[in-house]
Chain A
């Protein structure tokens, strides 16, 4: 899909804006749903569940756990590009940014969703959603700047195991920061 018009000119910006918008939409939904979950649970229990969710997702990433996670197993349809030079990439970005409209090849977004559901204030949820979109946009923008067509993806695939571990560690560190900041 990214060999499409998204790769050229200002549509990249529209695509990235769409990613951020999509991320904040999902985070807002989680925030509202979370208000039902957060109310009856004490903070310690919510922190413990968020950590347990991360542990389960890390086991899933390692293939030690085989949970059937909700995932829309399809590509964003090419038809979105019929919306125009900018609206098409924007719509494509929103769909990808939600994380709910196409494949999710990592379990970390599920752990992030659990953290938002259980622990986030409104600004924190929007920050996490925007961050998710920015993280996805980083893939696109860095791939464009990396050079040869497909080179970035090859590097990613060649090191996917180690990169996954590194990012899982980064995720755990950020969740630790969130929990420590919340309990003090």
Chain B
């Protein structure tokens, strides 16, 4: 496997797959938190923000 250049490593956090994965992981965490007995305060708004962000990011490529 070829070593990645520092430029490639530096831009990896901005790769579409990294961002889509991060948003999805956040949404999964929200779903797990919602199903757990504890009710974290961020559960009121967090999933809505994530749902909006996921649907907004999914429109990438429209320009």
Contact = CB atoms under 8 A, between A and B. Distances in A.
B17 A163 contact: yes
A180 B31 contact: yes
A99 B57 CA distance: 12
B30 A135 contact: no
Contact of A127 (B16, B28, B52, B56): B52
A138 B21 CA distance: 13
Given A132-B55, A138-B53, A155-B15, A102 B62 contact: yes
Interface residues of B, number: 41
Contacts, number: 190
B19 A142 contact: yes
Interface string B17-31: 101110110111011
A70 interface: no
A18 B23 CA distance: 21
Interface residues of A, number: 65
A167 B57 contact: yes
Contact of A167 (B15, B30, B54): B54
A164 B59 CA distance: 9
A134 B19 CA distance: 12
Contacts of B43: 177, 181
A112 B52 contact: yes
Contacts of A156: 16, 60-61
B61 A169 contact: no
A95 to B, nearest CB: 11
A152 B57 CA distance: 13
Contact of B24 (A120, A142, A166, A176): A166
Interface in B1-47: 7, 11, 14-17, 19-21, 23-24, 26-28, 30-31, 33-35, 39, 43-47
Of residues B45, B51, B61, which shows the largest number of chain A Cβ atoms within 10 Å of its Cβ?
B51
B11 A146 contact: yes
Nearest to B23: A170
A177 B34 contact: yes
A137 B23 CA distance: 14
Contacts of A138: 19, 53, 56-57
B11 A174 contact: no
Interface string A72-83: 000100000000
Given A105-B61, A138-B57, A181-B44, A174 B51 contact: yes
